[in-house]
């Protein structure tokens, strides 16, 4: 019930559409009950009088009633579709806006396919079922009420007999409502299948490279079979419920027909009256049957709605709207003071981290895999919130700042450069929406990307494909560097920016990075000596703690972890000359 009431909050945004639908439903229902009475008049009054003119008149009345009913029904359907699509748009828009406000750790615990299922499928399933259910259910109840009143006026005894199956039908509906868990299982299984499908499509190159087609097909079939079995369980329940309720309704119709026939034999009713009553009874039981079908739809819609509202009820990322603006211009003075952080409930990822980056300095973070290097810079962007200690930019603690203000002064280039499925131009304009053509080519030139972009078929307007698949790794990285340049941030974060490229490409990218880092406070994470040896200060991390710091030469002289890393990893690499 809570889910249904929350959907009503969207319906009330469009009162005019709701009123027009209701008006069409009321008038259409009143027109629907005209025909049985016309049939009674024709059989009991017109036929015995053999008045052809009267017969034609009443036939025209019946025809007009049918036309009016169906015309209003057509209008009601069009209004309902308009209403439905507006509400779908509103819910999906709210859901997407909510996703933008959720913290990264929320996404860390949910497969992308599951999120996509909730936005694409569950919204439609919830809205369509609930809106159609409310609209059609309202029309059905209105028809039951109107026809029931007419039946009691026409013959109270037969009307009472017609109501005998209703308690059984209500009990059956309550029992069927208890099957809602089956519909939840269907939605969960569908999400799991879509999550697997998303992973397989995203990883299709790895699947082909490792000849995993057969194994992945079996995994997909197993997930698809869960959907099949969950769906069959709901359908089997419906296969018992629907015919059973239809039989109970049929029993009611037969009882009325039997008692009505006896009334006609005893001259307590005319043939026209019993004919009219049976036609009314058909109109009475028709919406009752429809309510059973709507009950099935309602259970599916509620299960989908619970999944949608689970996202809408999730807690927003802190600091999106309640922080202060970072004063401009930003000098880029960054300090970490006794910072601690833990992912979930495990061991601490960072503990007592302290270091300082003065304006314009380049700080390198090195250490073995899992030491906490990426976590350090993820805290600076507030992708995650540190648990203890303080982080300052220009003496302003970052957890007191508006996140848009904070992130607006930070440029971020990652190891896996993400490009959206658009053009080179569109991917660059993310950093500066109003950038001119000249500015775009300038940053591409500084990033050593202008030569290959100019050779693309459509230049800046060349589509790069999903995740930039049409470009090489090095080309994607240089477009990412150009994008960071276009933002012109005072603080720059480079996370393994040259880890996935060959030596020659590294040289080109390294040149671009050096230009990018000029006059900026830069944090560099790298496993390559060529990337870090020129840093103003190198901090070595192990197990989430800073264990040594200094310049390249100072750290080599200390013969600690940094020197060991150089011997085992860095010194074998050729540095660009």
Residue 347 bridge partners (DSSP): none
Please tell me the CATH superfamily of domain 323-409+492-572, with its number: P-loop containing nucleotide triphosphate hydrolases (3.40.50.300)
369: exposed, middle or buried (Cβ count in 10 Å: 0-12, 13-18, 19+): exposed
Written as one string, the DSSP assignment of 393-449 is: ETTEEGGGB-HHHHHTTEEEE-SS----SSBHHHHHHTT-TT--HHHHHHHHHHTT-
pLDDT at 262: 87
Taking CA atoms, 375 is separated from 101, 370, 525, in Å, by 20, 9, 11
In angstroms, rounded to a whole number, what is the distance separating the alpha carbons of residues 439 and 443?
Answer: 6
pLDDT at 295: 72
| CATH no., domain 419-488 | 3.40.50.300
Q: Tell me whether domains 2-312 and 419-488 share a fold.
A: no
Q: Hey, CA dihedral for 422, 428, 433, 437, is it positive or negative?
A: negative
Domain residue limits, the chain: 2-312, 323-409+492-572, 419-488
Q: Hey, CA dihedral for 174, 225, 210, 474, is it positive or negative?
A: negative
For the chain, the first-to-last Cα distance in angstroms comes to 70
Tens of pLDDT along the chain (577 residues) come to 576 677 777 777 888 888 888 888 888 888 888 888 888 888 888 888 888 888 888 889 889 988 998 899 889 888 888 888 888 888 888 988 999 888 888 888 788 888 888 888 888 777 666 666 667 777 788 888 888 888 898 889 999 998 888 888 888 877 776 666 787 888 888 888 888 888 888 778 778 777 788 888 898 899 899 989 988 888 888 788 878 888 888 888 888 888 888 888 888 888 888 888 888 888 888 887 777 777 777 777 777 888 888 888 888 887 676 778 888 889 999 999 999 999 877 778 899 999 999 999 999 999 888 888 989 999 999 988 999 999 999 999 998 998 888 988 998 887 777 888 889 999 999 888 889 999 999 888 888 888 899 998 899 999 988 878 888 888 888 888 888 888 888 998 888 766 555 566 667 777 777 777 778 898 988 766 767 888 899 999 999 999 999 999 999 999 999 898 888 765 444 443 3
Which of 284-308 are b and which e, b meaning 16 or more Cβ less than 10 Å from the residue's Cβ?
A: bbebbebbbebbbbbbbbbbbbbbb
In angstroms, rounded to a whole number, what is the distance separating the alpha carbons of residues 217 and 107?
Answer: 26
Please tell me the CATH superfamily of domain 2-312, with its number: ABC transporter type 1, transmembrane domain (1.20.1560.10)
In angstroms, rounded to a whole number, what is the distance separating the alpha carbons of residues 176 and 148?
Answer: 25
Q: Hey, CA dihedral for 154, 159, 161, 162, is it positive or negative?
A: positive
The H-assigned helical ranges of 109-203 are 112-117, 123-154, 156-162, 166-177, 180-202
Residue 80 has φ and ψ, to the nearest 5°, of: -65, -40
pLDDT at 187: 80
SS3 labels along 205-255: HHHHHCCCHHHHHHHHHHHHHHHHHHHHHHHHHHHHHHHHHHHHHHHHHHH
User: Does this model's pTM top 0.85?
Assistant: no
Q: Are 421 and 463 in contact (CB under 8 A)?
A: yes
């Amino acid at each position: 019930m809570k889910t249904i009431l929350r959907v009503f909050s969207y319906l009330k945004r469009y009162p005019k559409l709701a009123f027009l639908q209701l008006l069409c439903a009321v008038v259409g229902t009143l027109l629907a009950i005209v025909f049985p009475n016309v049939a009674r008049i024709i059989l009991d009054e017109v036929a015995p009088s053999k008045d052809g003119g009267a017969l034609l008149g009443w036939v025209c009345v019946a025809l007009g009633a049918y036309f009016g009913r169906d015309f209003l029904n057509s209008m009601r359907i069009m209004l309902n579709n308009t209403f439905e699509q507006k509400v779908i748009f509103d819910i999906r828009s709210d859901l997407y806006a909510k996703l933008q406000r959720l913290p990264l750790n929320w996404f860390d615990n949910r497969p992308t396919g599951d999120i996509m299922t909730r936005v694409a499928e569950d919204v439609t399933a919830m809205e369509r079922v609930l809106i159609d259910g409310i609209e059609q259910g309202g029309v059905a109840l209105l028809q039951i009420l109107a026809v029931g009143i007419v039946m009691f006026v026409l013959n109270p005894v037969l009307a009472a007999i017609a109501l005998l199956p209703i308690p059984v039908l209500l009990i059956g509906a309550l029992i069927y409502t208890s099957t809602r868990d089956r519909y939840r299982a269907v939605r969960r299984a569908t999400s799991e299948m879509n999550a697997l499908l998303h992973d397989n499509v995203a990883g299709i190159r790895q699947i082909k490279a490792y000849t995993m087609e057969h194994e992945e097909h079996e995994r997909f079939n197993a997930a698809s079979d869960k959907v099949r079995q969950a769906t069959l369980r709901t359908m089997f329940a419906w296969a018992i419920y629907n015919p059973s309720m239809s039989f109970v309704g049929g029993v009611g119709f037969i009882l009325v027909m039997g008692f009505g026939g006896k009334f006609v034999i005893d001259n307590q009713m005319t043939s026209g009256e019993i004919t009219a009553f049976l036609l009314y009874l058909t109109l009475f039981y028709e919406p009752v049957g429809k309510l059973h079908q709507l009950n099935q739809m309602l259970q599916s819609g509620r299960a989908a709605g619970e999944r949608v509202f689970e996202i809408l009820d999730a807690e927003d990322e802190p600091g999106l709207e309640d922080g202060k603006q970072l004063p401009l211009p930003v000098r880029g003075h960054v300090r970490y003071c006794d910072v601690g952080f833990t992912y979930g409930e495990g061991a601490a990822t960072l503990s007592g981290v302290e270091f300082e980056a003065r304006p314009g300095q380049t700080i390198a973070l090195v250490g073995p895999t899992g030491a906490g290097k990426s976590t350090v810079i993820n805290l600076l962007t507030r992708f995650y919130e540190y648990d203890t200690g303080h982080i300052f930019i220009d003496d302003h603690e970052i957890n007191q700042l508006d996140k848009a203000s904070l992130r607006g002064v930070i440029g971020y280039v990652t190891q896996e450069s993400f490009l959206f499925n658009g053009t080179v131009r569109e991917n660059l304009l993310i950093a500066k929406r109003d950038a001119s053509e000249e500015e775009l080519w300038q940053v591409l030139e500084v990033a050593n990307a202008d030569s290959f972009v100019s050779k693309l078929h459509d230049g800046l307007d060349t589509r790069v494909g999903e995740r930039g698949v049409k470009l090489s790794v090095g080309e994607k990285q240089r477009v990412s560097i150009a994008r960071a340049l276009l933002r012109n941030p005072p603080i720059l974060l480079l996370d393994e920016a040259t880890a996935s490229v060959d030596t020659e490409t590294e040289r080109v990218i390294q040149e671009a990075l050096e230009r990018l880092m000029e006059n900026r406070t830069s944090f560099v994470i790298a496993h390559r000596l060529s990337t870090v040896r020129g840093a103003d200060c190198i901090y070595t991390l192990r197990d989430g703690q800073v264990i040594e710091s200094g310049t390249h030469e100072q750290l080599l002289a200390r013969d600690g972890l940094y020197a060991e890393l150089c011997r085992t990893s860095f010194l074998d690499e050729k540095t660009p000359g």
